[in-house]
Structure 1
């Protein structure tokens, strides 16, 4: 059976771009099993592309091929690469920071760079702006269909040479833990922090206990209040804020049946800081 092929882009689904990628992959091998991670990455947001790979990849089997295309530098000198993770999965992507979270958290075993001109869809002609279709979907399909072999494709490059986006680690300072708001649970507006549940529990927090929460955008305080640490949303009243452990076992902040991000105009990234301490 062919390996699974999983697509992620910032293309959206309002036009034919993603469907064209499906068509290319199906032409390479009609028996491929093709899936979507997401196509709603905000335009050009490499950080979120990196995070969504990290959110998803652990739940896919060995041998799965991921194609991630968030590529504001399309046609530039940035490399095209295939990374093999420590769990023997493959990610085909521009080398622009998309592999940051996989490299830091999941681990990358090896990386190979490949020539875009030599591995371009033959029917693409003079087009040089849709590498998602013409290079990444095409190459990903060939890898998933075992038409090409990773160990003999392209040229090996150092894992250390892979481009990384800056990550600010979470940390404990006395009776307080500090971190950043990495990403949103988009549909519901929950805040997902980079504070691991083990670091959070170093404060001796018990469920049902109230903690003080402070959120800053750089140095400007945007939110300051206390809220309960709950097992799930149902443990607080509708409209009440809560602290919880999210599906990646990091600390999240939410409003039960509401959007915390929208209510308080909270964003994401390394300039959004959050801290917790006992009230």
Structure 2
């Protein structure tokens, strides 16, 4: 029985690129079950590709094969690899940082370089600009259809040598929790941080607490306000800012039925920082 094949790209669906990848996969095995993770990764945004894999991979069955193609270095000397995760799944991708979150949060037990002498779409040898179709979709489909074993992908490469992007860590200093704005919940405009629920618990923060939240891009502060840590959106008023625990058990910031990111022009990446502390209680005589 074939495995599932899940595809992620920054290609969009306005032309035939994704359709060509589907065609290659189906040509390998018409019985393959093919799914889209997303094709709306911002162009060349390797960080977001890495995060979307982390957001999704754990919820798929063992032996699912993922193909992730966000590849600004296509045609260069960057490696094409297939990794086996600690959860017994496979990811086919350029070795350009796309595996940063998987390596950090889930774990990679083995990595292999794709041997293009064997695992490359026939009659595509003169093309160096569409490895998503010619190398990744083809290899992923062959692996998912069990035409090849994992060992037949190609030679082993050391897991420690897999390229990683800089990944900021959360710090706690004198009651201030400092983290990173990793990604947007795009549809609703919420911002997702790398601050975990456990960090909040260790800091003694409970639902209902008022917190001072500051957001900065590099050293420039772009937002500062007091908001409440809520269990759900229904616990807040319409248009009220709030902190909440998102679906990855990390802290998010939102406007109830509004876009926090759009309202305050917030973006994501290693330069976008968030600082959280308990708000000072104001007393009156």
Calculate the TM-score normalised by the size of structure 2: 0.96
Counterparts of 1:214 and 1:69, CA distance in 2? 34
Which residue matches 2:220? 220
Structure 2 residue aligned with 1:199: 199
Aligned match of 1:127: 127
Q: 1:125 deviation in Å? A: 5.3
Deviation per CA, 1:22-52: give whole Å up to 9, x if none.
1110010000000010000000000000000
Alignment of 1:191-270 (within 5 A): 191-270=191-270
Q: SS of 1:83's equivalent?
A: strand
Tell me the residue number matched to 1:24: 24
Contact 1:28 1:138 in 2 (8 A): yes
How much has 1:117 moved relative to structure 2? 4.8
* Contact kept? 2:119, 2:153, Cα under 8 Å: no
Equivalences for 1:129-144 in 2 at 5 Å?
129-144=129-144
For normalisation by structure 1, the TM-score amounts to 0.98
Summarize the alignment of residues 1-150 of structure 1 with structure 2, pairs less than 5 Å apart: 1-124=1-124, 126-150=126-150
Deviating more after overlay: 125-134 vs 216-225: 125-134
Partner of 2:283: none
Q: Give the Å deviation of 1:123.
A: 3.6
Which digits, 9 at most, give the CA deviation of each residue in 1:144-197, with x for residues without a partner?
000010023300010000000001101111212110000100111111000111
Offset of residue 4 of structure 1: 0.3
Cα distance in 1 for partners of 2:258, 2:173 equals 31
Is the Cα contact below 8 Å between 2:115 and 2:153 reproduced in 1? no
Q: Deviations over 1:180-237 (max 9, x none)?
A: 0001001111110001110122221121221100101111110000001111111111
Unaligned runs of 5+ in 2: 280-285
State the number of aligned residues.
279
Deviations, residues 30-82 of structure 1 (Å, cap 9, x unaligned): 00000010000000000000000000011011100000000000000000000
| Secondary structure in structure 1 of the residue aligned to 2:151 | helix
Q: Distance in 2 between matches of 1:115 and 1:77?
A: 14
